[in-house]
Amino acid sequence: MDIKKAVKTQENIFNMLKKAKANNRLSHAYLFYGEEGTGKKEMAYALATLLYCPNGGCLECDVCKTILTGNHMNIDYIGIKEDKKLISKEQVVELQEEFAKTSLVEGTRVYIVDGIDTASSAAQNSLLKFIEEPINKTPTVGIFIAKELSNVVSTIQSRCIIEHFNAIDHKSRAKILIDSGYDELSSILATGLTNNPDEAVDIINNSNFETFKAAFLDLINIQKPKESIYYYLNHISIFSNQENLKVLLTWYMLFLEDANICIGNDTNLILYPLCDKIITYRKKMENRLRDLLEMTLSLFKKLDGNVTAKNVFHELITKIV
């Protein structure tokens, strides 16, 4: 969990929270919602630093580090357990029981509920009194995290300051990785598979990444039917797996989208390190680009249906030239 990175990408929200703290106008409840990987959980911990940091949320001092590593005694977190799909009412009850105990540390207590939109209405409603009437009269700040705002009961929404976390655009996500020392193309390809920069780093470091990357570059270089046959035989063992094939199709989709909009040396391309290849591909396939895009989209749908990855891969290769 890279708090500094998340704060940098959602700086406007952090600055708003800092201003509210400076003016003694922090709310007792916040609801952060938006797509996965947009820094909601990280911002929840960043908000907690504003309550204790002697430097106004510097994210650097010992106090901040204690909070950001999840070791502060007044910061409680509950999220979806690994073997579950939602926040349970039992977790909410356990949180309330924890807050019924007297803290050994003075100051505001913070609770973070990550995945409030997955909790049942009963579990959410059990939080209402907790939000309004803190146990032991201790100053309390609740931070709720959700992907889907519509799944959060209106009574909780009405009691919170609601902040929407915009998705980080592709180039900004890639730049985070590039600035960390990863090469441009790998950074762009990895962030094409996830909104979360930390997950993108894990993707690059996966032992299969370079194999997939090389296979993608081979795919866009196919020019003749004979070459497509060799490609199929050389890669069928990899792309008979559904998840592996989705990676290849995602990258090919990005490539086709770039080819569709490319006009000369276009800096707006997502896969700009492949600009020369994109220009060449556009010249060769210009009359077929729309059909190839539609075909690739249909292959995604087939993968999500009952068609095997092997058959989908075969269809891709037979239609690519």
Does pLDDT of 308 surpass 60? yes
Given this model, what pLDDT does residue 120 score?
85
Tell me phi and psi for residue 193, to 5 degrees: -105, -10
Q: Which residues contact 84 (CB under 8 A, 6 or more apart)?
A: none
CA distances for 292 relative to 239, 253, 272, 321, angstroms: 19, 9, 20, 10
> What percent of the chain is modeled with pLDDT above 90?
62
Q: Which residues contact 82 (CB under 8 A, 6 or more apart)?
A: none
Mean pLDDT of 16-28: 93
- φ/ψ bin of 137: left (φ > 0), alpha (ψ from -120 to 50), beta (otherwise): left
Cβ–Cβ < 8 Å for 40, 195: no
The tokens describing 44, both together, are 């929840």
* Angle of CA points 262, 275, 280, to nearest 5°: 75
- Of 188, 147, 193, the residue nearest 39 (C-alpha): 147
Does pLDDT of 265 surpass 70? no
Least confident span in 9-18, 126-135, 252-261, 288-297: 126-135
CA distances for 120 relative to 28, 116, 126, 170, 181, angstroms: 22, 9, 10, 34, 43
Domain boundaries, the chain: 3-165, 207-319
Please give the single-letter amino acid code of residue 138.
T
For 224-239, the pLDDT digits (tens) are 889 999 999 999 999 9
Given this model, what pLDDT does residue 114 score?
94
Given this model, what pLDDT does residue 239 score?
96
Cβ–Cβ < 8 Å for 99, 76: yes
Mean pLDDT of 137-166: 92
Given this model, what pLDDT does residue 42 score?
92
Give me the CATH code for the 3-165 domain, please. 3.40.50.300
Mean pLDDT of 271-285: 91
For 29-44, the pLDDT digits (tens) are 999 999 888 889 999 9
The tokens describing 37, both together, are 């990987």
Sorting pLDDT into bands at 50, 70 and 90, what band is 4?
Answer: confident
**Block residue for tokens 């997955």:** 118
Mean pLDDT of 290-319: 93
Sorting pLDDT into bands at 50, 70 and 90, what band is 168?
Answer: confident
Cα separation, 25 vs 17, in Å, equals: 9
- The 3-state DSSP class for residue 150 equals helix
The tokens describing 275, both together, are 């600009």
- Of 39, 64, 61, the residue nearest 50 (C-alpha): 64
